[in-house]
């Protein structure tokens, strides 16, 4: 098969105005394909989650600086919409379809759509964020295997997901491409300017950490709060910015803050963060802390790369692929003592400038162009 200069393709997955990193990244991949002249479209959800299953307050973003690129056809609870979506795809006659997969809740819906379009010899490439969900889900292995059985090949963004997928899909092609940098938020701000925008203290000696993203049990915020209570970090006069909506009991974390007596050193933005606020949060911080208990890849790390922010990551899942220990951040075990030790080393040895410079030099390794190219190459050899 000769390589075609321009391809027609469809991305199935959430897009604006549905909120979240998966929606943002689908839009970014769309833009990358579009910039090289491809005919690309997004088929999104008219209903993604029923409200009963959605742990947040709202499934939609209020960001006002985007235009929807999607056709919202898929209702995950309505099989007739699945048929309609499959017929719509067949009318477009794409060279191939990319299907975004991250949770077994979507397996029946997406598997059914893929089963229909494969009747018309349309190739299906699954873009897999997670093989297993972060929290257990009924029949998760059966559901995932049902969806995977209708895919021709797979793209993953971490070696840990590749290993998990290979254990279930032994003979099909899997391509590992690093998670690209989230560059939809704009460029860096001066630290003082960013802090002014958030009405934070701006003196140069003031130190801020950032914990960013939806707050779920597996992300280990409790470990970080415990670390903040240590004498070493009190002596460093650190403040912690926690920015994200609580998916779970907020009271659990508030009780810990009160128990550790760190109320005056923790700043809560306890809601879904709009895109316009992201640059101020990241650029206000000296370092981003992700004390996750388990993970696959991390969109938060890729936002940190966009703003050249050092990171403290735990050595779980695919997070080790983003940081070179003590060169551009820290790779630690998920416990409070190691968080404390990393932060003490970071501040005592004035490593921010050195680490940020190293990240800036590595940003080209995580490009949307590389991801887009990998889908085209996988299509050609499948």
Cβ count near 325 (within 10 Å): 13
* Confidence band of 135 (pLDDT split at 50, 70, 90): confident
Q: Is the pLDDT of residue 296 over 90?
A: no
> What distance in Å separates the CA atoms of residue 303 and residue 37, rounded to the nearest whole number?
27
Between the CA atoms of 291, 128, 370 and 363, what dihedral angle is there, to the nearest 10 degrees? -10
CB 32 within 8 A of CB 372: yes
pLDDT grade for 3, boundaries at 50, 70 and 90: low
> Strand, helix or coil at 319?
helix
In angstroms, rounded to a whole number, what is the distance separating the alpha carbons of residues 13 and 131? 16
Has residue 357 got a pLDDT over 90? Answer: yes
pLDDT score for 312: 97
* pLDDT reading at 207 higher than 80: yes
pLDDT tier at 1, thresholds 50, 70, 90: very low
**Cβ(351)–Cβ(329) under 8 Å?**
no
Q: Are 375 and 145 in contact (CB under 8 A)?
A: no
CA distance 186 to 275: 10
31-39: average pLDDT: 93
Query: Average of pLDDT values for 151-158?
Result: 95
> Is it the case that residue 301 has pLDDT exceeding 70?
yes
The 8-class DSSP code of residue 365 comes to: G
pLDDT value at 67 more than 60:
no
Of residues 62 and 32, the one with the higher pLDDT is: 32
pLDDT mean over 334-339: 97
Name the DSSP letter for residue 180.
P
CA dihedral 12, 18, 20, 26 (to 10 degrees): 30
Q: Which domains are seen in the chain, by residue range? A: 8-180+367-381 (3.40.50.2000), 191-365 (3.40.50.2000)
- Across 247-256, b (16+ Cβ under 10 Å) vs e yields beeeeebeeb
Strand order in the sheet with 39-47: 70-75, 39-47, 8-12, 96-101, 123-128, 153-156, 173-176
DSSP string, 60-115: B----S----EEEEEETT-HHHHHHHHHHHHHH--SEEEEEE--GGGHHHHHHHHH
Question: What end-to-end distance do the CA atoms of the chain give, in Å?
Answer: 10
Q: pLDDT averaged over the chain? A: 92
Helix, strand, or coil (residue 267): strand
| Rounded Cα gap, residues 327 and 321, in angstroms | 13
> What's the pLDDT at 50?
86
With 70 as the cut, is the pLDDT of residue 118 above it? yes
Q: What's the burial of 197, exposed, middle or buried (CB within 10 Å: 0-12/13-18/19+)? A: middle
Query: For residues 288 and 144, what is the distance between their CA atoms, to the nearest angstrom?
Result: 33
pLDDT given at position 298: 85
Q: Is the pLDDT of residue 133 over 90?
A: no
Tell the residue number behind the tokens 């650190």, with chain if given.
Answer: 238
The pLDDT tens digits of the residues spanning 169-197 come to 877 899 999 999 998 888 899 999 999 99
Any idea which of 48-62, 101-115, 217-231, 347-361 has the lowest mean pLDDT?
Answer: 48-62
Q: Which of 49-53, 111-115, 150-154 has the lowest mean pLDDT?
A: 49-53
CA distance 174 to 152: 10
Name the token pair of 136. 């257990």
Longest dimension (CA), the chain: 66
Decide which of 296 and 257 is more confident: 257
Report whether pLDDT(44) > 80: yes
- pLDDT of 319 > 80? The answer is yes
- Least confident range of 77-86, 140-149, 180-189, 254-263: 180-189
Q: What is the pLDDT of residue 68?
A: 62
Strands (E) across the chain are located at 8-12, 39-47, 70-75, 96-101, 123-128, 153-156, 173-176, 207-212, 238-243, 266-269, 287-290, 311-314, 329-332
Q: Express as a percent the part of the chain with pLDDT over 70.
A: 97
Tell me the C-alpha distance between 213 and 24, whole Å: 14
């Amino acid at each position: 098969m000769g390589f075609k200069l321009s391809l027609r393709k469809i991305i199935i997955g959430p897009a604006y105005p549905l909120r979240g990193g998966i929606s943002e990244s689908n839009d970014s991949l769309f833009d990358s394909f579009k910039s090289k002249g491809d005919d690309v479209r997004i088929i999104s959800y008219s209903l993604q989650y029923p409200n009963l299953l959605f742990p947040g307050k709202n499934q939609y973003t209020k960001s006002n600086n985007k235009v929807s690129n999607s056709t919202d056809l898929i209702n995950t609870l309505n099989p007739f919409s699945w048929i309609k979506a499959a017929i719509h795809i067949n009318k477009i006659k794409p060279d191939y379809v990319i299907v975004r997969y991250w949770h077994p809740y979507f397996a029946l819906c997406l598997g059914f759509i893929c089963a229909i379009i494969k009747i018309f010899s349309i190739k299906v490439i699954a873009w897999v964020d997670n093989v297993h969900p972060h929290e257990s889900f009924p029949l998760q292995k059966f559901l995932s295997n049902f969806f995977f059985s209708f895919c021709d090949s797979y793209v993953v963004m971490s070696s840990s997901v590749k290993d998990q997928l290979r254990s279930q899909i032994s003979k099909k092609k899997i391509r590992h491409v690093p998670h690209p940098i989230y560059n939809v938020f704009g460029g860096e701000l001066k630290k003082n300017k960013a802090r002014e925008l958030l009405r934070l203290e701006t003196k140069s000696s003031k130190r801020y950490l950032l914990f960013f993203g939806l707050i779920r049990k597996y992300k280990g915020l409790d470990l970080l709060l415990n670390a903040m209570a240590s004498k070493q970090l009190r002596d460093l006069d650190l403040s912690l910015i926690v920015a994200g909506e609580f998916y779970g009991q907020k009271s659990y974390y508030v009780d810990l803050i009160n128990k550790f007596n760190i109320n005056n050193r923790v700043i809560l933005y306890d809601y879904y963060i709009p895109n316009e606020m992201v640059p101020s949060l990241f650029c206000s911080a000296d370092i981003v802390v992700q004390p996750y208990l388990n993970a696959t890849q991390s969109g938060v790390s890729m936002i940190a790369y966009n703003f050249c922010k050092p990171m403290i990551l735990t050595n779980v899942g695919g997070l080790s692929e983003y940081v070179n220990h003590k060169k551009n951040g820290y790779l630690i075990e998920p416990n409070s003592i190691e968080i404390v030790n990393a932060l003490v080393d970071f501040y005592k040895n004035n490593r921010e400038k050195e680490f940020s410079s190293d990240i800036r030099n590595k940003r080209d390794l995580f490009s949307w162009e590389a991801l887009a190219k990998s889908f085209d190459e996988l299509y050609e050899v499948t």
